[in-house]
Amino acid sequence: MLLYQLRLAIFGLRRQAGYGLAILVVLALAGGMWTFGVCRYLRHHGGYPDLSPTLHQVELAHLETPTITRAQGNTHTTATWATHTRVSFPEYRQLAGSGIPARETGTYRSRLLVASPRGGAVPELVPARFVNAAFFSMFELPLGSGRAFTRSEETAGAAVVVLGRRLHRRLFGTDRLEPSSAVILEGRRFQVLGVIEGDQPVRPAWDIASMDSNQDAVYLPFGWSTRLLARPMTLVPQSPVGDRFDQLLDSDTLFVSFWVDLATDEQQRAYARWLQERFGAEGRPYLLRSYPEWRQAFAPPHTRVAFLSSLSALLLLVAGFSVARLLLAKGISRRGELGVHRALGATQRAVFAGQMLEAGLLSLTAALAGILVALPYIALFNHAVADIDIPVQLTGQTFLLGTGVCFGMGLVAALYPSWRVSKTPPALYMERR
């Protein structure tokens, strides 16, 4: 019976190809815009990765002072998050001196001049991140090739780096790490140990206050930050600070993000006691957040990205109304044919199912065509807009949301026209015959 209904549906679509083409075009164009909107929304508002719940972030009480960096299209300043997730350099050294966590890392962002030792290309300033060796395993950064630097290499002061994929591709023309690869950073030669696979999230968990920025291009051992006199990209001063780098390191300016991995309950209790003895006893408020608690505390802010993405949903809804009108006109134009089917014994349910099946075939085709329509939107946005270097991408999740919602909209739009056409009475057409 299903194959019979399918043949009838295909026959009906072929007989009314004009209506079918109009429905397909309207729904595919709206579906393409919807899919693009979903891609952009999830790039900015997608969930945080499922990292280990034993990760913890330490918050120390600070003043909330403004910075010039602002999340896209809203009044939420990154300084608000920075004061709750960053510490000063002296505080970082205190926190890193407990000896309790299984893993820990401090991290901050700077700009460094990078060039290929082969020459030819013009040196460029790139976002560079200073991290401890445990950083890569704590935040599960995937490496496309090579490896991360080790604790012993960091302690020994080895001149080693890990590169982001985009920078490595610009410098070497490939995503694969070549043997003995090296880069020149601030006039010093560094060996490239590994290359990050893919692009980082717009909201990096390791430093949430750096959201809405280009992704990190270089990862260096934390100790090189003082050797290179690398000033942070964003500062949250708590009091006036001098111009010299050593004055910055001795000040209460916030720029270091600090995380610890407390793998056991015993470590968590020991670290909580240490924080109480070190800071609580001095009257300094502190807070030890687990990673799940951190995710709840720093939910994505409302931005213009969400508003613009909602416009694509509105466009899809308008397309649904247009599709409903076209389907109704298509069904009414076939009332004579359908009346004969009713006279020959077809039930209202069978007519309704046949109309829905036709709409389903059109909706599925339009949903898949919408993905093809979305691809040039995505490419144009990444090329012409490129607000940050983290691209909008079509992933498996966005594919399912794009096609699924578009297909569902087509079926919903077909409900009333199909019901209306199924009410076609057979008697009138019997008299005409």
pLDDT digits (tens, 9 = 90+) for 7-57: 655 655 566 667 778 888 999 999 999 999 999 888 888 878 899 999 999
Whether the CB-CB separation of 210 and 234 falls below 8 Å is answered with yes
What is the structure's pLDDT at 128? Answer: 97
Phi, psi angles (nearest 5°) of residue 134 = -75, -10
For residue 191, with 0-12 CB atoms within 10 Å meaning exposed, 13-18 middle and 19 or more buried, which class applies?
middle
What is the SS3 assignment for 202?
A: coil
Q: In Å, what is the CA distance from 378 to each residue of 44, 45, 94, 201, 202?
A: 14, 17, 46, 17, 17
The rounded distance, in Å, linking the Cα atoms of 303 and 289 is 26
pTM over 0.95: no
What is the structure's pLDDT at 69? Answer: 42
Q: Mark the ranges of the chain whose per-residue pLDDT is less than 50.
A: 67-77, 433
Specify the amino acid at residue 380.
L
Whether the CB-CB separation of 83 and 247 falls below 8 Å is answered with no
Specify the amino acid at residue 56.
H
What is the structure's pLDDT at 191? Answer: 96
Phi, psi angles (nearest 5°) of residue 116 = -85, 140
For residue 328, with 0-12 CB atoms within 10 Å meaning exposed, 13-18 middle and 19 or more buried, which class applies?
middle
**Length of the chain as a residue count:** 433
The rounded distance, in Å, linking the Cα atoms of 64 and 52 is 29
The rounded distance, in Å, linking the Cα atoms of 114 and 128 is 10
The rounded distance, in Å, linking the Cα atoms of 398 and 375 is 12
